[in-house]
Amino acid sequence: MSFLQALLLSFIQSATEFLPVSSSGHLLFMKGALGLTNVPLIFDILIHVGSLIAILVFYRHRLAQTVSGLLTEVSKEKRIGEEGRWAVFLILATGVTFAMYLLGGDLIEARFERPSTLPVTYLLTTVILGATYFAPRTPKRKTVQLTWQWIVMIGFFQAMAMLPGVSRSGSTIAPLLLLGVMRKDAGYFAFSLAIPAILGAFIFELTDAAQLTYLTTHPVLCLAALAVSAGASYGFLKMIDWVLGKKTFWYFSFYTMGMAVLSFILFGVS
């Protein structure tokens, strides 16, 4: 992988991490199109860390409010209020995702090497996004008003998004919208879910000596890719935040359908 190819992959990842069109799917698609067969998984996770940085910066005030509210509830009020419930939901959904990874992680990682997976997974994303056409037009619920069973379902949907071609943002925001959760609140919870998911994946891969060696032997390339991803991700996060307010989330299903067809033409299906 050349330096320019690394930067291209970084930009594509940042554009598609927040837009509900699957960053992992686009990365796999581009690797197949460019004939890149030697890109280690740690590189994909590293540029996702750039998106994690963008989330922390973009939602810094809301996250600070959540943390301070949680500390106040626990230390002073001796109760679990909205912020505490939000934190419990975040942990619960993340736990479900992690459990699913433990059960099927090897299969998922194998699929990261096969572009022929994309027609099926992009079709699944199309169905998920298209379903939001039927979401309530005037949602009034907050995420914390859902039951824990619904949050388990959100964790399961996020686990499905470990497959390339299944959008993580789409598969977590879409069910929240269908449940009548307010759009901006759905976005905040869905993107907050990415924090432990990305951080956990990065830390896990660092335990692999071969993956760690790649970072230490390509420091300039990795840092440049991380910088591109972080900067571009912030811009695209602002874009999807605007899109959520326009009630047009389901429009992205047309794009993912096109990606399914194009992937089928180029790579076939398996």
Instruction: Note down the domain range covering 263.
Output: 3-267
Q: Can you tell me the distance from the alpha carbon of 86 to that of 67, in angstroms, rounded to the nearest whole number?
A: 10
**Number of domains composing the chain:** 1
pLDDT, one tens digit for every residue, the chain (270 residues): 788 888 988 998 888 888 888 888 888 888 888 887 777 778 888 888 999 999 999 999 999 988 888 888 777 766 777 888 888 999 999 999 888 888 866 666 555 567 888 898 999 999 999 999 999 888 889 999 999 999 999 999 988 888 888 988 899 999 999 999 999 899 999 999 988 888 887 887 777 777 778 788 888 998 999 999 999 999 999 998 888 888 888 999 999 999 999 989 988 876
Taking CA atoms, 125 is separated from 81, 88, 196, 226, 246, in Å, by: 34, 27, 22, 27, 20
Q: Can you tell me the distance from the alpha carbon of 169 to that of 128, in angstroms, rounded to the nearest whole number?
A: 11
